[in-house]
Amino acid sequence: MTDLNIDDILAEYDTSNITIATVCSHSSLQLFHGAKQEGFKTLGIAVGEERRRFYDAFPKAKPDEFLMVDNYQDILDLTSELQEKNAVIIPHGSFVEYLGADKFLSLNLPTFGNRNVLRWESDRNIERKWLESAGLTMPREVKNPKNIESPVIVKYHGAKGGRGFFIAKTYEEFQKRIQPKKPYTIQEFVMGTRYYLHYFYSPIQNNAYKLNKGSLQMLSIDRRDETTIDEVQRLGSIAELEEIGIHPTFVVTGNIPIVLRESLLPKVFKMGEQVVERSLDLFGGIIGSFCLETVVTENLEFKVFEISARIVAGTNPYVNGSPYSDLIEPGLSTGKRIAQEIKYAAKTDQLNEILS
């Protein structure tokens, strides 16, 4: 699936003795926990003694073994050592961010999911092409700030976790806040309720919502807790605060479990299906866990403002299952589901279908 020859590396692996490895951060507690539940050995890559100390504090989720590095770039020099351990890497948002997208793409280790998806999600314009051509509705884009007629959200490119984003209701407000040297996108600010939908797509199993190839599960839903926007009203209205120069921010600090109105669920599956089917045409498929970040309007319409193409931290409230995953298998977390997929693929000799 990438230019690397992962098949050759896999050919040398003892696939009955895989080690699940990831960077100690983001959702790694859940990944190690799930991998251990499925009987895998686990390895945590950690920078600094404090990290190891923290990850050592959870007996059910601490990795069996730590690989200590001075900085994340060192992982690139340790691939032979990791290959000897039959390591399969589970990427998460921090893993990709710490390593950098280019280095992640060149990492010479079998990695869960399809790495080609990075090219489609890391640029907001290309991401929009994928999602809109799949039939999803996205927030309207405002190309010229002079055309701002209703509230918009201004997003800097590459910003992670909403850092630096701001709301503007007029062109004048936009001009006051914009840092023109940084590339940005202006989007309609969608009024509604935010839902972050966690899916799992298996190209090799047919035991869920059936697609042309494989099947789709919806494992859980969360809402992000974002500071300061979610608590700003404790001090006054946004308008009042903006007058004295206090602007709300969108920095993620936590995740809240959500159950969706049941009549919306068929739409959730339909959207997941559309995204997967289109991804199969465009780049060989989005494999494993992914998340659609949405706002539901008062007309009960989903507007999708972002896709994350791997496990998201919003699945962390569900280490012991969610109201949806429990209906698939009691106690099923996304971490455990990933481990199950690797186990099944190893057993049926299909690892090259889910690793890249």
140 binds ligand ATP per the rule CB under 6 A: no
Question: Where does this chain touch ligand ATP (CB under 6 A) — which range of 240-248, 260-268, 302-310, 319-327?
Answer: 302-310
Q: Of these, 1, 153, 286, 332, which contacts ligand ATP (CB under 6 A)?
A: 153
Listed as own residue / partner, the contacts of 70-74 with beta carbons closer than 8 Å and 24 or more positions apart are 71/47, 72/23, 72/45, 72/47, 72/98, 72/99, 73/99, 73/103
Q: 209 to 268, contacts with ligand ATP by CB under 6 A?
A: 224, 226, 250
Sign of CA dihedral 249, 252, 258, 261: positive
Site membership for ligand ATP, residue 121 (CB under 6 A): no
Count of positions on this chain that bind ligand ATP (CB under 6 A): 21
In the shown chain, the binding pattern of residues 173 to 212 toward ligand ATP, with x for contact by CB under 6 A and - for none, equals: --------------xxxx---x------------------
**Residue 160 binds ligand ATP, judged by CB under 6 A:** yes
CB of 231 to ligand ATP, least distance (A): 13
Residues in the chain: 356
Q: Which of 112, 165, 184, 302 binds ligand ATP (CB under 6 A)?
A: 165
Binding-residue pattern over the window 304 to 323 for ligand ATP, x denoting contact by CB under 6 A = -xx-x---------------
Q: By CB under 6 A, is residue 272 in contact with ligand ATP?
A: no
Q: Does 162 bind ligand ATP (CB under 6 A)?
A: yes
Nearest to ligand ATP of 72, 165 (CB atom): 165
The reply to whether 295 sits near ligand ATP by the rule CB under 6 A is: yes
Q: Which residue is nearest to ligand ATP (CB)?
A: 162
Least separation, in Å, of the C-beta of 197 and ligand ATP? 13
87 binds ligand ATP, rule: CB under 6 A: no
- Nearer CB in complex with ligand ATP: 110/288: 288
Q: Is 54 in the site for ligand ATP (CB under 6 A)?
A: no
State the nearest-atom distance from the C-beta of 120 to ligand ATP, in Å.
14
Question: Given the rule CB under 6 A, which residues bind ligand ATP?
Answer: 139, 153, 155, 159-162, 165, 187-190, 194, 224, 226, 250, 293, 295, 305-306, 308
